[in-house]
Structure 1
């Protein structure tokens, strides 16, 4: 458990690559950037996940547990939906890695609209809706611009982790870099954060 967040806190931030014009069942890269605070990049891990699959949770757990980075303190996620509706089970990630999870979201999600889309397009919508609903309380950090969810640590500590790991952006630097790297791998050029 994290009691005091140090400036050099070691985090891993995950984001996926752009996948426009790809069909359900195809694969997209998932990138995890390991950082010390908001300045030092210590490394990068990658996995491939399935568009609209249910394999992102396993990919994150495997990337963390099989990496050489054994001193990680927090897992940062850029939302809980990856590669379309490949939804992270944040509680399982916390339970199996032993690391708290902070989900950072730029735009407040419309859960009702997401649930309706899941019901319309997926036979296993009940499983996916369950993952959405159990992801934790949504907390507003920057009014109308930044939200977060915390699993395995208090809201206050999660807020401190976000603040310490940001550099020149609203989101933590590890998430910003993961987004840029994943986009570059998928499209040949990085996209804006």
Structure 2
């Protein structure tokens, strides 16, 4: 339980690497990269795993990256959305339960769940299981009107907002997520892409 949000709270933020359409067709892998930080100021380390593009292994890989890392003092997991590697959907309940850590999802645009459901139904035989993971995710709260949205599991949404503020240095995205995006993108393409 997080009683007080300290400026140096230990957070791991995850993002995935870019991939091409051929990766989707061939069910190839992309990198899942996590940056461990003290608040927004100090990078403590990093973790990485490979996930299948449009697969179903992202939850298992996130759990493995957190539980089997040397970083035993993590307080929060941050995700940049709940779909990685295309439509590899995170089971937020399982991630929270298996790691024992609160999960904060941060997105810049409100997801269009109806469009996502239609795409899943059209392209995946197991679409119903994937849609169920989307539907059972916690409610989306608008932190900055029209610009930043947050979902919180295992902690009150106000505490999640505080953690997002404490871990953000420049712009809207918390540093662990911003740096994970840069690293994952550079790893897959040779250089980082614009946020």
TM-score, normalising length from structure 1? 0.99
Query: What is the aligned partner in structure 1 of residue 180 from structure 2?
Result: 178
- Where do residues 75-154 of structure 1 align in structure 2 (5 Å cutoff)? 75-154=77-156
What is the Cα-based RMSD across aligned positions, in Å? 0.7
Query: Which blocks of at least 5 consecutive residues in structure 1 are unaligned?
Result: none
**Which ranges of 4 or more aligned residues in structure 1 deviate by more than 4 Å?**
none
SS at match of 2:118: helix
SS at match of 1:161: helix
Query: Which blocks of at least 5 consecutive residues in structure 2 are unaligned?
Result: none
Output the CA distance in 2 between the equivalents of 1:22 and 1:179: 21
SS at match of 1:127: helix
The alpha carbon displacement at 1:135 in A equals: 1.0
Output the CA distance in 1 between the equivalents of 2:60 and 2:141: 26
Output the CA distance in 1 between the equivalents of 2:180 and 2:17: 9
The alpha carbon displacement at 1:37 in A equals: 0.4
Output the CA distance in 1 between the equivalents of 2:132 and 2:96: 17
TM-score, normalising length from structure 2? 0.98
Output the CA distance in 1 between the equivalents of 2:118 and 2:68: 36
Query: What is the aligned partner in structure 1 of residue 72 from structure 2?
Result: 70
Query: What is the aligned partner in structure 1 of residue 5 from structure 2?
Result: 5
Give the total of aligned pairs.
193
Output the CA distance in 2 between the equivalents of 1:79 and 1:159: 16
Query: What is the aligned partner in structure 2 of residue 16 from structure 1?
Result: 16
Deviation larger for 20-29 or 181-190: 20-29
The alpha carbon displacement at 1:71 in A equals: 0.2
